[in-house]
Amino acid sequence: MNFGSDNVYGVHPAIMDAVVAANSGTQASYGSDAYTRRAQEQLSAVFECELDAFLVLTGTAANSLCLSAMTPPYGAIICHGDAHILVDECGAPELFTGGAKLIGINDPRGKLQPGSIEKVLDGFSRGEHDPKPAAISLTQATELGTVYSVDEIAAIGELARSRSMKLHMDGARFSNALVSEGCTPAEMTWKSGVDALSFGCTKNGAMALEAVVFFDRALAADFSHRRMRAAQLLSKGRFLGAQMNTYLENGLWLDNARYANDMATYLKDGLEATGKMRMPLPVQANEVFPIMPRELFDLLLSKGVVTYQWPGEGPGNDVVADGEVFARFVCSFMTSRDDCDALVREVEAWNGAT
């Protein structure tokens, strides 16, 4: 019963088969191979536009390098206070931007609000004594499993343009957000004002694959050098391209995300029906965030359930009382109903004492 992360499961069999198939014969190195060219073509087709895409190995690299192309060393990046780039990437965005300042805003439910962003930006009144506002970064889906609607993204995109800033989207769980919102990839990104996307694949079935996607193609002018300098240019690039091709072909990425989301909803319904947890947040992607008694949380851990007490701002208006835990359960493309049912049975069997 491992609900610790969508990274705990392996690679989708079709993607693993594609990597093995790509091992045959020879291909040009350093991303000049036919697999990578095909992947770039597919990404353009998926997003319905001409774009520049660069394949990298990790989400931290995608975010940090993407932001480095959008933000000068003296710039400011506005993000949520719980954003991965702020609290989970060990200063990598600051390193690769050469020192840009990340400014977190603790808006409810993990989602930045235009009014809050404007309030922060209006505080930049000291000229060169302040960092220069350069970029806004949204996480889609958010660190609390919530999803920005297209209208919400567009409102922040318009704000970014009005302030001569760029809009970045950390899409580690972009696919989960997309199937939840029911829109097109284009509508969720460049049509709503997103200039660049960190397109996540690893959490959704790939082995080690992310893409930096530039819709504002001017931002890609020297990105090949940034990627090389950051040791993210894989010499045998065919293995990244092969993953991306299979991920996108025949809608595998959407099928995986839809299944993971459905499992999260199934799990949420089962846990909620026990009456022993409350759900302060909607389940909009593949994560469930219940509040439960500490005794129950500790019991689940003792029974082999893998989950985490979640840090940060938490559920917003629903207070986590003393003796309670705000926890996270993550479902993936390989989560089974049996595991969900087993977890629910453990919760049902708890009688209030360990």
Provide the H-helix boundaries in 123-251. Answer: 150-162, 174-181, 185-188, 223-229, 238-248
pLDDT at 291 over 80: yes
pLDDT tens digit sequence for 141-198: 999 999 999 999 999 999 999 999 999 999 999 999 999 999 999 999 999 999 999 9
Same fold, 13-251 and 253-348: no
Task: Assign 118 a pLDDT band (cuts: 50, 70, 90).
Answer: very high
Look at strands 132-139 and 101-105 and give their pairing.
unpaired
pLDDT of residue 320: 87
Predicted local confidence at residue 313, as pLDDT: 55
CA distance 122 to 22: 52
Torsional sign, CA 97, 101, 107, 109: positive
- Give domain limits for the chain: 13-251, 253-348
Q: What is the CATH number of domain 13-251?
A: 3.40.640.10
Residue 312 pLDDT: 61
Tokens of 49: 């536009």
126 vs 8, which has greater pLDDT? 8
pLDDT-based confidence at 317, cuts 50/70/90?
A: low
Mean pLDDT of the chain: 95
Domain 253-348 CATH (choose: 3.40.50.970, 3.30.365.10, 3.30.565.10, 3.90.1150.10): 3.90.1150.10
- Mean pLDDT to the nearest integer, 317-338: 92
* pLDDT of res. 318: 74
Sequence letter at residue 342: A
How many whole angstroms separate alpha carbon 260 and alpha carbon 192? 26
The pLDDT of residue 333 is: 97
Burial track 104-143 (b if 16+ CB lie within 10 A, e otherwise) = bbebebbbbbbebbeebbeeeeeeeeebbbbbbbbbbbbb
Contact at 8 Å (CB) between 205 and 260?
A: no
pLDDT > 90 fraction of the chain, expressed in percent and rounded:
94
Question: With bands split at pLDDT 50, 70 and 90, how would you rate the model's confidence at 349?
Answer: very high
pLDDT tens-digit map of 9-51: 999 999 999 999 999 999 999 999 999 999 999 999 999 999 9
User: DSSP for 44-96?
Assistant: HHHHTS--EEEEES-HHHHHHHHHHHH--TTEEEEEETT-HHHHSSTTHHHHH
| pLDDT value at residue 129 | 86
pLDDT at 127: 83
Q: What is the pLDDT of residues 196-237, one digit of tens each?
A: 999 999 999 999 999 999 999 999 999 999 999 999 999 999
Q: Are strands 196-200 and 166-171 parallel, antiparallel or unpaired?
A: parallel
Entry pTM: 0.96
Q: How confident is the model at residue 316 (pLDDT cuts 50, 70, 90)?
A: low
Span 69-75, average pLDDT: 97
For residue 2, the model assigns a pLDDT of: 95
Residue 319 confidence (pLDDT): 79
